[in-house]
Amino acid sequence: MPISMTKKQEIIQQLLASKTKAYQAEVKLLLKQKPAEANEVKNHGKELSRRIDNLIAETMSDWIGNSDKLISDVKLINKKVQRSINDINNNVNIAGNIVKLVGFIDELVEIVDGIT
Amino acid sequence: MADADNPFFISKPPVFLKAKKFKLGVSKANLVWLEYSNLLLQLSSKELVDDEKFSKLSEELNNNAFDAVQSLKDQPSDTSAKNTALFSELAIGLAKEYIRTKQKEKLMESLTKNQVSIDAYVENIKSAIVTMAQSSTQEHSEKQQNLTRDLIGLVGSNEKGKNDVKIQKNIGDMIDIKTTHSNQMESLQALYAAYGKIPAAHEALATRLSKSDSSIAAINDLLEKGIQLHSSYEAKAKVNKAELVQAKADAASSEATTAEITYQQAKLKYAQAQFEYTLSQNSLNSDLDNGIKKKDAEDKKKLADELKLEADTLKESSEALRAAATAIQESSNEVKNSIINN
């Protein structure tokens, strides 16, 4: 399944991969009893993580901006579809009114029949 | 101006606050789509041009037309009765066919016209899902790394080996985080795939409609699946979604109540007009040659008839709105149940 991403999302994806590598390196250093080096990698990794957080927040803001317009568009479409449904219902009502009209004509015929 | 010198400076809101707004946006987008597919379902529904309604109309028309023929002829023959019935059935059949054709045309028109917007909508939702997945990975990798650091610290300082309670708990937490993350990724991927199918399914509907009287239940199934999957994403989002879905049902119910009140008011107006007309007619009966009274009675009858028609229309629309509100409430209950069950 092809996944489409915006430029920002592609960057985030790459940064997430880099952060994972940084975290793996930190663990290896800790296991090798090199806490000072591990700490340095950790600090850089944390900075990278903060940047990723900011980028994700930006992506969310972008999305909220775009989606407001799209949600309004679909709401407008919904109004139009509702109007179509009302038109159809109205047509059914007209058919019903024709029957009522025939009923009135019938009453008139009966009245005429009674007079003549 | 530097941040420190700006009296109105506020630090950036934490990501989780932005995420909350973002999830609410996704919920709103889902709801608007739910409404769209419900409207499409209504527009494609056979109940919109109900067969039962038409057979009742046909029956009424038959009775009326037959009575009319009978009153004109002293001895109505079977043939005239049959001819009358044939005529009325033909008329009703044509009316039904006309409305059905209109229904189909409007549905196809909606599907074709809305395709571009639906494509854009789906791309937008898919993009939101990618962001959700990235945000989930970011959050879980942080938790995972903290636990790994703790674990290394514990392993270095422990004396009981793998039997150390703290180590066991730490490993258990790591497994939990990995499981949660993997479940979320699975759900989001399925959601992404489900949404991905919507544009083609939407487009295929118009093609299928031109061939047969098909239903759009499939597209609704896709949507329901999407909502269920999304609702499993996070408890916070669940609460927002349940609230939003209920708000939608409440709004529909309130609209139906307003329509019912309007109908009752119209019915009252009609009853009053009918009463006025009866009084005028009584007055005319005792003075048949009085032109002013005759005109007055005619005017009042006309007004009463108009008000009756208006009340009948309002009755139908209030009943339709109530039925829709009940359906929305039921659908909202289903969505809420699926949220609880997931």
Structural domain boundaries enclosing A53? 7-115
Pull the structure tokens for residue B287. 């003075």
Q: How confident is the model at residue A92 (pLDDT cuts 50, 70, 90)?
A: confident
CB contact under 8 A, A63 and B53: no
pLDDT at B234 over 50: no
Q: Which of B99, B110, B317 sits opposite A95 (nearest CB)?
A: B99
pLDDT of residue A99: 67
The answer to whether residue B123 sits within a structural domain is no
Q: What is the 3-state secondary structure (H, E, C) of chain B?
A: CCHHHCCCCCCCCCHHHHHHHHHHHHHHHHHHHHHHHHHHHHHHCHHHHCHHHHHHHHHHHHHHHHHHHHHHCCCCCHHHHHHHHHHHHHHHHHHHHHHHHHHHHHHHHHHHHHHHHHHHHHHHHHHHHHHHHHHHHHHHHHHHHHHHHHHHHHHHHCCCHHHCHHHHHHHHHHHHHHHHHHHHHHHHHHHHHHHHHHHHHHHHHHHHHHHCCCCCHHHHHHHHHHHHHHHCCCHHHHHHHHHHHHHHHHHHHHHHHHHHHHHHHHHHHHHHHHHHHHHHHHHHHCCCCCHHHHHHHHHHHHHHHHHHHHHHHHHHHHHHHHHHHHHHHHHHHHHHHHHHHC
Chain A neighbours among B 253-282 (CB < 8 Å)? none
Of the pLDDT bands very low, low, confident and very high (cuts 50, 70, 90), residue B14 is: low
Q: Residue B53: its pLDDT value, please?
A: 72
Closest CA of chain A from B342, distance in Å: 25
Dist. CA B79–CA B87, nearest whole Å = 12
Q: Are B20 and B234 in contact (CB under 8 A)?
A: no
- By CB atoms closer than 10 A (0-12, 13-18, 19+), residue A7 is exposed
Non-local (6+) Cβ contacts of A64 within 8 A are B21, B22, B25
- Identify which of A86, A97, A83, A104 has the alpha carbon closest to the alpha carbon of residue B95: A97
**pLDDT greater than 50 at residue B233:** no
B50 within a domain of the structure (yes/no) = no
A1 located within any domain: no
Question: What would the mean pLDDT of B222-231 be, rounded to a whole number?
Answer: 51
Q: Looking at per-residue confidence, does B87 or B253 come out higher?
A: B253
Rounded CA-CA distance B297/B281 in Å is 6
Determine, yes or no, domain membership for B18.
Answer: no
Measured CA to CA, the distance from residue B223 to residue B198 in angstroms comes to: 8
Residue B236 in this model has a pLDDT that exceeds 50: no
Q: By the 8 A CB rule, do B44 and B215 touch?
A: yes
Q: How far apart are the C-alpha atoms of B145 and B63, rounded to whole Å?
A: 82
Q: What is the mean pLDDT of residues B27-56?
A: 72
Query: Per this entry, what is the length of chain B?
Result: 342
**Across the interface, do B15 and A57 touch by the CB < 8 Å criterion?**
yes
pLDDT at B42 over 80: no
- Average pLDDT on B186-195 reads 79
Q: Which residues contact B141 (CB under 8 A, 6 or more apart)?
A: A16, A19, A20, A23
pLDDT tops 60 at residue A116: yes
Q: List the structure tokens of B321.
A: 């709105």
Domain assignment present for residue B213? The answer is: no
Within 8 A of A95 by CB-CB distance, chain B residues are 54, 57, 92, 95-96, 99
Rounded to whole angstroms, the Cα distance separating B228 from B335 reads: 7
Provide the pLDDT confidence category of residue A41 given band limits of 50, 70 and 90.
very high
Nearest chain A residue (CA) to B28: A71
Closest approach of chain A CAs to the CA of B338, in angstroms? 24
Residues in B 5-34 with any Cβ partner in A closer than 8 A: 12-13, 15, 18-19, 21-22, 25-26, 28-29, 32-33
Q: Using an 8 Å CB-CB cutoff, list chain B residues near A23.
A: 141, 145, 148
Q: Tell me how close the Cα of A39 comes to any Cα of chain B, in angstroms.
A: 11
Residue A2 domain flag: no
| B280 located within any domain | yes
Q: Which of B127, B177, B301, B318 best tests the A interface by mutation, with the highest count of A CBs <10 A?
A: B127
Split at pLDDT 50, 70, 90, the class of B237 is: very low
pLDDT at B252 over 80: no
Contact call for B68 and A27, based on CB within 8 A: no
Q: State the average pLDDT over residues B157-180.
A: 80
DSSP 8-state symbol, A24 = H
List CB contacts (< 8 A) between A21 and chain B: none
Render pLDDT for B53-89 as a digit per residue (tens, 0 to 9). 777 776 766 665 555 555 545 444 555 555 555 556 6
Mean pLDDT of chain B: 73
Closest residue in B to A13 (Cα–Cα): B134
pLDDT above 90 for A11: yes
Reported as a pLDDT band with limits 50, 70 and 90, residue A12 is very high
In chain B, which residue's Cα lies nearest the Cα of A6?
A: B127
Q: Which of A86-95, B172-181, B224-233, B326-335 has the lowest mean pLDDT?
A: B224-233
Three-state SS at A21:
helix
Judge whether residue B306 has pLDDT over 70: yes
| Between residues B42 and A47, the one the model is more confident about | A47
- Rounded CA gap, B270 and B308, in Å? 6
Q: Is the pLDDT of residue B232 over 50?
A: no
Q: Is B71 on the interface with A (CB under 8 A)?
A: yes
Mutate to test the interface with B, among A24, A70, A93 (most CBs of B within 10 A): A70
pLDDT, residue B116, reads: 87
Contact (CB<8Å) A99/B57: yes
How many domains, in total, are found in chain B?
A: 1
CA distance A95 to chain B (A): 7
Cβ neighbours of residue B62 under 8 Å, at least 6 residues apart? B84, B85, B88, B89
Q: Say which DSSP state A3 is in.
A: -
CA B179 to chain centre: 35
Question: What value, to the nearest 5°, has the Cα angle with vertex A57 and ends A54 and A62?
Answer: 125
Asked whether the predicted pLDDT for residue B109 surpasses 50, the reply is yes
Q: What is the pLDDT of residue B37?
A: 72
Q: Rounded CA gap, B188 and B131, in Å?
A: 10
Least confident of A27-41, B23-37, B120-134, B180-194: B23-37
pLDDT at residue B229 greater than cutoff 50: no
Record: contact B102-A75, CB cut-off 8 A: no
Per-residue pLDDT at A18: 92
Q: How far is A62 from chain B (nearest CA, A)?
A: 10
- What's the domain range around B323? 236-342
Does residue B107 belong to any structural domain of this protein? no
B81 alpha-carbon distance from chain centroid:
45
Identify which of A5-9, A112-116, B203-207, B251-255 has the greatest average pLDDT.
A5-9
Best residue in A63, A110, A111 to probe B by mutation, most B CBs within 10 Å? Answer: A63
On chain B, the residues whose CB falls within 8 A of the CB of A22 are none
| CA pair distance B196, A96, nearest whole angstrom | 43
Query: Chain B, 229-258: which have a CB under 8 Å from a chain A CB?
Result: none
Six-digit token string for B219: 């597209």
Q: What is the pLDDT of residue B62?
A: 64
Greatest mean pLDDT range, B70-79, B114-123, B243-252:
B114-123
Question: Which tokens belong to A5?
Answer: 């991403």
- Please state the φ and ψ torsions of residue B26, each to the nearest 5 degrees: -65, -40
The whole-number pLDDT of residue A40 equals 92
Which of helix, strand or coil describes residue A48? helix
**A101 in a structural domain:** yes
- Is the pLDDT at B220 greater than 70? The verdict is no
Total of domains in chain A:
1
Tell me which residue of B342, B327, B341, B337 sits closest to B34, measured CA to CA.
Answer: B327
Question: Chain B residues with CB inside 8 Å of A26's CB?
Answer: 145, 149
Q: Determine the average pLDDT of the residues in B27-43.
A: 73
Instruction: Identify the pLDDT of residue B15.
Output: 66
Average pLDDT over chain A reads 85
What percent of chain A has a predicted confidence (pLDDT) above 70?
86
What mean pLDDT is predicted for residues B116-124? 86
